Amino acid sequence: MAFGLLYDFLMGQTTRAYEYFGAHFGTKDFEVEELEKPASGTGRAKKVKKTLTVHGVYFRLYAPMASDVSVIGEFNGWDVGADKMAKIDDSGVWETFVGGLHDYQSYKYHFRNARGEYVDKADPFAFFSEFRPLTCSRLFDIEGFIWHDDPWMKKRTNCQEAPLSIYEVHLGSWKGKIGDRYPSYEEVADYLIPYMRETGYTHVEIMPITQYPFDGSWGYQATGFYSVDSRYGNPKQLMSFVDRMHQAGLGVILDFAPVHFATDAYALREYDGTCLYEYSDPAHTLSPWGSAQFDLGKDPVRSFLISAMNYFLTYFHFDGIRVDAVSNIVYWDGNKNNGENTGATEFIKRLNGKLHYEHPGIMMIAEDSTDFTKVTVPTEYGGLGFDYKWDLGWMNDTLKYYGKDPIYKKYEHNKLTFSMMYFWSEHFLLPLSHDEVVHGKGTIINKMHGDYDAKFALLRNLYAYQYGHPGKKLSFMGNELGSFDEWNENRSLPWNLLSYPKHDSIRRLCRDLNLIYKAEEAMYKCEFDPNHFQWMMVDNHDQSVFAFERTYGDSDLLFVYNMTPNFYPDYDIGVLNEGTWDEIFNSDKDVYGGWNQYNGAPLETGMFASENRPYHLHIKLGSYAACIFKRRIKK
């Protein structure tokens, strides 16, 4: 078994490298000689061979160009001569067994690298690590966690035909520190589970929790790709977090960064004195962020990363993985002009194909800003095999449009209509993520045009537009608070804002949009089929009013958006079907902080309408209002 796994590792095909490499608790039998006295008690004692079973840890390291390798740790007083490792394979695998060890003991590998220098390196396959600024790996037995989420695991899907409303969370700053320490995974769950159930999100996406040294990297520049972030606890505490989320009916998605890694000397950089994990070509060794780039064309690197993601899916029951910076995978250094990185795209196809095979129902999500084609097409049809792709074009165009003075919006009309020109080419997810609220970009509400009241009105309109537009949804924590202060990883979200009605009303609006989203099949069923979407008003540049209809089965919804402060007491909107329509949502209601210009009574259609629609509705359309109408279906 070990030989086959090692062969697959070297060929870039294994999903389970973590079962072989790293530090694993186990037993080893040793033959020992003992003196055994005769049963009669007389005569001379004889030497007999007996088998002694010792409990301890197997250490295995992949370092082809290393020599004179030892494992050092607190268990041997960091003595480089105490536990030498033997080279057991010509490919560069080193192994030793050390008895009598236990969880949490710190260790590193000490060896002579290809340049003849003695170095101390952390274990690339360690399951746990010391909390920064300490840099050692730590022993941890990951076996034996008792799960309680079998009902969830049996029914989970990739949500192609189900609601998917993702709440993106940075665990350390959602509630903030407790005194001078980070909250544990379980402590975050204590508050996050009831909050998500109350606000209606279906899944949480946690920003990277593989071990990383620099807080300001938010986990995107890691040093340990199997090592659960020790800021928040140990691996079994993370398992408990996911288990409890699943029991509460909530999915959990892991944000993972397979493009690059931190350049700290104790970690993967020039691991055995060669570019074992990164590109050897200096033109590609470092990423645009100053980190080292994984050489995704190397088969052992492919196995390393595919196995890492599979490890979190297998041992932690994550429901999906958001793959960071796909643009820097498909194109050399993320630049289309440099051409496709075919070694890296082959890695992605292999990753998605293997993980979907082993874990039916998971979601693989691409954070991709390029126009690379077939990102969400299955690998068997020549695609990259992702389930969803972030629609960053929609995000950029939409936020620019909402930031325009209403006087000039008619000249930017296409920014709101262009997304539907390409939407059917991929399975898109609409993100308003952490990237939009940092580094001087301003928060989402700060991006809105106008004075204080106008910003809130446009924010309500924007969120209603995100939910009305086809595509799955993602919103970063705090967007629902309407905060004017940018997110900072070192402090808590400003929960005190909820004591102010304007801000609390935004959270209520987000909750109600989630509830409507989950209740109306037209908002998630067949949403990637153009037959279920129809523009009702698309060319009204002068008034900047948009309307479209979405249908599925008994769910027939009309969405209307007024992008200016103009108020229309009697506005004509075309619809496809005759009947009675009820307004089920209006962002201008006072419960959301609006001016209460809404349609209270049911509306009846009239014959003929603008834009060649067969019927029309006369509606009240408030300033900056977003409305959702539902047609009554006769039984």
Catalytic residues: 324, 367
CB 60 within 8 A of CB 47: no
- Of 245, 254, 255, 251, give the one whose Cα is nearest residue 189: 245
Peptide bond into 360 cis (omega under 30): no
Q: Looking up tokens 């909820």, which residue turns up?
A: 498
Distance CA 454, CA 564 (A): 10
With residues binned 3-state (H G I as helix, E B as strand, rest as coil), the percentages for the chain, rounded to 5, are 30, 25, 40
Helix (H) or strand (E) holding 336: none
Closest CA to 420 of 323, 615, 550, 558: 550
Q: How far apart are CA 384 and CA 296, in angstroms?
A: 15
Calpha distance 540→526 (Å, rounded): 27
CA distance 488 to 482: 15
Strand order through the sheet with 533-537:
533-537, 545-552, 555-562, 626-631, 580-586, 603-604
Q: What are phi and psi of 495, to 5 degrees?
A: -65, -20
Strands (E), 257-348: 260-261, 292-293, 320-323
Q: What is the DSSP letter of 181?
A: B
- Which amino acid is it at 518? K
Nearest one of 470, 469, 451 to 461, comparing CA atoms: 469
Q: Are 223 and 262 in contact (CB under 8 A)?
A: yes
129, 183, 451, 511, 582 from 498: Cα distances, Å: 37, 22, 20, 14, 30
Separation between Cα atoms, residue 604 and residue 361, nearest integer Å = 43
Please give the Cα distance from 433 to 395 (Å, whole number).
9
Residue 580, token pair as written in the block: 């009675």
Burial class (CB in 10 A: 0-12, 13-18, 19+), 504: middle
Measured between alpha carbons, how far is 551 from 630 in angstroms, rounded to an integer?
10
